A and B are shown apart, each in its own frame.
Chain A
């Protein structure tokens, strides 16, 4: 096999909290684009980006919705940066049971940022386009994709399981798993 590593494009939004003016245009643009049909309605509560905003404490953190967390996590972290204490979960992207962020207001279903890969995919996420103060900037970078695991590595792992549970149990389990994956 040729020794060529796979490449993938990683889309990122760089958030400069010092430049954020707290106007929430990003929330407006996001919720408008993701309405059905697009732009037919607007509602920041549906936005996949939200600004954690406490003007009197000078806290402005735009946060993008990430993966859903089905349960609350153990840690409720607080961050102190430049003497400013950020509320717990301020930087967390999860839609989770401990807060009302990133949930559809009617159904409670989790929201997740799709980088505006809708139809048609936008050149830059709309929130970035609407952020004229440049708190949000779009960056693409190329990364090497993780290599496929080598077959012998898988073999080592399965052998360890056979050692532990016996071949029969492992085979039964494999059957059940493959059935449920298909089903």
Chain B
């Protein structure tokens, strides 16, 4: 008997319309856990590096985490993995909501899509009955609208729907997959779904998910609930409000946006407005939020209410996620009313809330600079807000200039030329980043930005405070009940970390300490992505209820796999290395591993080189960031070494990319 997982994947060949229920190997669960871990294994095995993102041979995998569907609070993540059209690397964005548990109850751990459907379809999974159904009538419909229409036509109000909007259908490189109150947005995976001509996956399940040692497992779940209660009642003092509690940043609850609006950059990640927030704005924004916010809502089996239903006047209701609250507002130099309004369009179209506003602000900067001219923007309104709506419409339809912009700032700038590259300044590995520009190099963040393969800082940071606390007394208070640390040395690192003086940034924490800190933070995210746990209860906030000490117990009692901290650490290292190997095989090298050049004003090239050199060695990678033979063998990944060597990867510094796909080759749309 399989515990926590179902032991079956649903394999769908869209080209031939073939559907198979395939039993999986329990040994893979032991080695790679589930979710991202086993997704990565499938991609390594079945998607060779010459497969382009929009090839029928690219896989699009919806993987429910190993513990999804069990009573573990907040365990509801679907990890969607594919090769990204924007970065050409592995994308493994995840979504919360209600999809993953429903998929488990239907009897599957993953849906693996391959091939390409000749016509637009949706997939209807109802326990054992799986159908590929015509979706011609849903073409062009919004993602939220699509979900409602499908539930009505199937007469299944309890079905969960993951759908793309117009952006996905038109293969916009930052198209999202929308579902429940969540979405899998980063890396353009919605474009791959659109390329495969799948409008939606719909699932309904009424089967059991078993756990191995029930009483013990429930006890662990209850402890987590108790700790959540404790943390809700005891926010961490001395940090900004969004870092004090659990959950993803409580953007739908807070009215005070002083910190975001004065520290994040406006426009095309350019302008810092240090005195922006005042009483008048505070009042106006509070009124806006109060008038449009209907209810605070949660994902499956979670009390954190990180999301909200938003009803902008004259528009249909949608569910808001996290920081999309401000990304449009700030990119357009506008106000919250505009931001909440355009986010409704963006949700229906299905676009990523970081990339989309930045791409539009980038386009308008090019226009102001004269690199793009009136000819490129026929009929564009004169006001900034109107321009954003206009541009969004062009992008999701790939009309005119929108066709270029739909590939993101990196590829668009390359195509436009005439110095446009300088305006695509806020990307890492071709992927738009949070609009942050700071002064002093933070060595921990340098490593996370450079090497994070989810290519999004929020998906690697979390466990260690972002900045030192002002006084030793405050630091002492903080470490007192900090039992989540894997080792007490982390407490010492933090105790000694001063805002100024000898033990301050960039030279403290030391290079070696930075390696430890980054490795711990990254490890927690990778565990979440395999188990299906929401980062908001685990890897993202300080002092979370799930940590390295109780996770092995959850896996043992839940999935029936003997697990301890050491074995878990080794498993995580294994699939984390596999993710890197997939990307290395696709041409990623050291030269790609760097933050945006203007991320910090004060840079330290020698220190940065030392950081990267040391971290690579620490991780078992060579100077190019390629996992070494020794480290691969130690992880039982001999097959990876054999493949990399056969392909001559170790001799290739990546100066000649293995393939030249991207914007130019994708003009067929």
Chain A interfacial positions (CB closer than 8 Å to B) = 21-25, 28-29, 32, 35, 37-46, 54-58, 60, 105, 130-133
Contacts and interface: CB of A to CB of B under 8 A. Distances in A.
Interface string B295-307: 1111111110100
B214 A56 contact: no
A51 B245 CA distance: 27
A38 B216 CA distance: 11
Given A28-B71, A32-B71, A56-B309, A41 B300 contact: no
B407 interface: no
B305 A55 contact: no
B208 interface: yes
B181 interface: yes
A108 B208 CA distance: 15
A60 B297 CA distance: 10
Interface string B267-286: 00000000000000000000
29 contacts: A21-B296, A21-B305, A22-B298, A23-B297, A23-B298, A23-B300, A24-B300, A25-B301, A38-B215, A39-B71, A39-B217, A40-B210, A40-B214, A41-B208, A41-B209, A42-B208, A43-B105, A46-B208, A54-B157, A55-B319, A56-B316, A56-B317, A56-B318, A58-B294, A58-B295, A105-B207, A130-B225, A132-B225, A133-B298
A58 B309 contact: yes
Interface string B52-72: 000000000000000001110
Given A23-B301, A56-B144, A38 B214 contact: yes
B95 interface: no
Given A55-B297, A56-B148, A25 B73 contact: yes
A42 B73 contact: no
Nearest to B144: A56
A22 B105 contact: no
3 nearest interchain CB pairs? A132-B303, A45-B206, A39-B214
Nearest to B69: A42
Contacts of A24: 98, 300-301
Nearest to B181: A55
Contacts of B105: 43-45
A37 B206 CA distance: 19
A32 B229 CA distance: 21
B4 to A, nearest CB: 10
A46 B298 CA distance: 22
A158 B144 CA distance: 64
Nearest to A51: B158
A60 B294 CA distance: 12
A21 B71 contact: no
A22 B73 CA distance: 14
Contacts of B69: 42
B218 A32 contact: yes
A42 B209 CA distance: 5
B211 A42 contact: yes
Contacts of B148: 56
B206 A25 contact: no
A133 B316 CA distance: 27
Nearest to A23: B298
A159 B423 CA distance: 98
Contacts of A133: 298, 303, 305
B75 to A, nearest CB: 10
Most buried by B among A41, A105, A133: A41
B179 to A, nearest CB: 12
Most buried by A among B69, B209, B299, B301: B301
A147 B470 CA distance: 71
B31 interface: no
B571 interface: no
Nearest to B4: A42
A21 B298 contact: yes
A41 B297 contact: no
Contacts of A54: 157
B69 to A, nearest CB: 7
B229 A132 contact: yes
B557 to A, nearest CB: 10
Contacts of A35: 208, 214
A133 B306 CA distance: 12
Given A23-B301, A46-B208, 4 more contacts: A21-B298, A42-B209, A55-B181, A55-B319
A42 B71 contact: yes
B318 to A, nearest CB: 8
B138 interface: no
B189 interface: no
A135 to B, nearest CB: 10
B119 to A, nearest CB: 28
B201 interface: no
Nearest to A26: B301
Contacts of A130: 225
B548 interface: no
Nearest to A41: B208
A67 to B, nearest CB: 23
Contact of A21 (B98, B297, B318): B297
A39 B218 contact: yes
A43 B208 contact: yes
A43 B157 CA distance: 17
Contacts of B229: 132
Contact of B206 (A32, A57, A105, A132): A105
A28 B207 CA distance: 13
A34 B49 CA distance: 49
B215 A39 contact: yes
B340 interface: no
Contacts of B232: 132
Contacts of B316: 56
A21 B105 CA distance: 22
Contacts of B205: 45
A115 B208 CA distance: 22
Contacts of A131: 303
B228 interface: yes
Contacts of B181: 55
A137 B205 CA distance: 29
Contact of B309 (A44, A55, A105): A55
A21 B303 contact: yes
